[in-house]
Amino acid sequence: MEKKITVLRGDGIGPEIVNEALRVLDAVCKKYGHTFTYTDVDIGGCSIDKFGVPITDEGMEQCKNCDSVLLGAVGGPKWDSVDPSIRPEKALLKVRSELGLFANLRPTKLFPQLADASPLKDTVVGQGIDLMIVRELTGGIYFGKRSTTETNGEKVATDEMLYTEHEIERIGRVAFESARKRNKKLASVDKANVLDCSRLWRAVMHRLSEEYPDVQYSDILVDNTAMQLIRDPGQFDTIVTENMFGDILSDEASMLTGSIGMMPSASLSSGTLGMYEPIHGSAPDIAGMNIANPLGTILSAAMMLRYSFSMTEEADAIEAAVNRVLDEGYRTGDIMQEGMKKVSCSEMGTLVAERI
């Protein structure tokens, strides 16, 4: 099978971790007889430096005319002072919006080999952590109208949170279908005791739940969710929520596993086109040092094979290879434990590729 992949290496450690994911994908091609064609597009700070914008129109067209997009990370202190309209992060919002990537899937799984790395007590993590956060990605406060004005000599800033019924329904269906493929348990997170948006969200989710009687459905307020993720994360299986809540909760959940470097994500459209990326940032303080953890990016590549290419066996092979490398005691610095074998970013990628 032939597939075209647009590669957005980005800034900081982005190029390093993406290189290792491509190394693993090449190993998949060799074993299973596929052909993946990679086309690089600048995004984020490196694109600002070259072209004055975080992603060019030509780059966007390349993203639209491929089978999938693989992203590293964008941004860094170097670009903190640029005009807000062209900050590196604006490129991510543009890609998500123009590709229609409305559904963000963020699995949070504690690998048993890394149980000691979790900041939670053994009595909590001993029950296991394996949950999926489904985050709405193209609506809400990040895409609403915003303004900064001045009233009575004082600056006033406004950010609008807006959701339509159809936006809530389409992410809800993704969440219910995801729950069906897991353990048929879905928690919908909102702030319905305060926000009109959340009251509409809850009403739509309740209506959808009637179409999925096989899925155990519940509502939970966002502040309680944040608390419960620390107190008893094992109670959750699939969580669905709006854009800002999902952004915050998924980062919180990622740290339950001990390192944000292990966490992949998928951003999906209504078709097969998706963008896949680790959830961590560009980590400019360690860029170029060959010490970053590439496993989140490698596992994101596995999600790409599973969700965009329907290559289930190949995705399983990548995940099994990661498990095997961890079983054998190899660790990058962020997940290093006493008695384990410390390896570099490139060495970790090579190890996983060899075990494909």
- 3 state SS for the chain: CEEEEEEEEECCCHHHHHHHHHHHHHHHHHHHCCEEEEEECCCCHHHHHHHCCCCCHHHHHHHHCCCEEEEEECCCHHHCCCCHHHCHHHHHHHHHHHCCCCEEEEEEECCHHHHHHCCCCHHHHCCCCEEEEEEECCCHHHCCCEEEEEECCEEEEEECCCCCHHHHHHHHHHHHHHHHHCCCEEEEEECCCCCHHHHHHHHHHHHHHCCCCCCEEEEEEHHHHHHHHHHCHHHCCEEEECHHHHHHHHHHHHHCCCCHHHCEEEEECCCCCEEEEECCCCCHHHCCCCCCCCHHHHHHHHHHHHHCCCCHHHHHHHHHHHHHHHHCCEECHHHCCCCCEECCHHHHHHHHHHHC
3 is annotated as an active-site residue = no
Are residues 94 and 127 located together in one domain of the fold?
no
Q: Is residue 212 part of a domain?
A: yes
Are residues 38 and 53 located together in one domain of the fold?
yes
Domain boundary among the residues 256, 275, 304 is at 256
Are residues 275 and 237 located together in one domain of the fold?
no
Q: Is residue 112 part of a domain?
A: no
The catalytic position among 40, 49, 223, 232 is 223
| pLDDT digits 0-9 by tens, 30-82 | 999 999 999 999 999 999 999 999 999 999 999 999 999 999 999 999 999 99
Checking if the pLDDT of 259 tops 90, the result is: no
Q: In degrees rounded to 5, what are phi and psi of residue 102? A: -90, -15
Per-residue pLDDT, 82: 92
Q: Is residue 166 part of a domain?
A: yes
Are residues 32 and 58 located together in one domain of the fold?
yes
**Per DSSP, what are the bridge partners of residue 155?**
150
38 is annotated as an active-site residue = no
**What confidence tier does 113 reach under pLDDT thresholds 50, 70, 90?**
confident
CATH number of the CATH domain containing 215: 3.40.718.10
Domain boundary among the residues 200, 229, 256 is at 256
Per-residue pLDDT, 112: 82
Report residue 294 as tokens.
């590439």
Q: Is residue 111 part of a domain?
A: no
Percent of the chain scoring above 90 in pLDDT:
85
Checking if the pLDDT of 272 tops 80, the result is: yes
285 is annotated as an active-site residue = no
The catalytic position among 142, 212, 217, 330 is 142
Per-residue pLDDT, 183: 95
What is d(CA 41, CA 8) in angstroms, rounded to the nearest whole number?
A: 5
Percent of the chain scoring above 70 in pLDDT:
99
Are residues 147 and 46 located together in one domain of the fold?
no
The catalytic position among 4, 78, 191, 342 is 191
Q: Is residue 177 part of a domain?
A: yes
Are residues 294 and 207 located together in one domain of the fold?
no
Are residues 177 and 100 located together in one domain of the fold?
no
Checking if the pLDDT of 126 tops 70, the result is: no
Lowest mean pLDDT among 197-201, 222-226, 232-236, 254-258: 254-258
**Per DSSP, what are the bridge partners of residue 40?**
7
| pLDDT digits 0-9 by tens, 145-154 | 999 999 999 9
Domain boundary among the residues 256, 283, 317 is at 256
Contact between 168 and 174 (Cβ < 8 Å): no
Are residues 268 and 252 located together in one domain of the fold?
no
Are residues 50 and 93 located together in one domain of the fold?
yes
Q: Is residue 8 part of a domain?
A: yes
**Per DSSP, what are the bridge partners of residue 106?**
133
The catalytic position among 26, 130, 219, 251 is 251
- Between the CA of residue 138 and those of 90, 95, 189, 204, 293, what are the distances in Å? 13, 10, 17, 18, 28
Are residues 92 and 180 located together in one domain of the fold?
no
The catalytic position among 247, 307, 330, 334 is 247
Are residues 174 and 279 located together in one domain of the fold?
no
Count of domains for the chain: 2
Q: Half-sphere exposure of residue 316, counting CA atoms within 13 Å on the CB side?
A: 5
Query: Which amino acid is located at 28 in the chain?
Result: V
Query: Nearest to residue 299, comparing CAs of 278, 325, 283?
Result: 278
142 is annotated as an active-site residue = yes
191 is annotated as an active-site residue = yes
Q: What's the domain range around 209?
A: 119-256
Are residues 246 and 322 located together in one domain of the fold?
no
Q: Is residue 114 part of a domain?
A: no
pLDDT, average across residues 291-310: 96
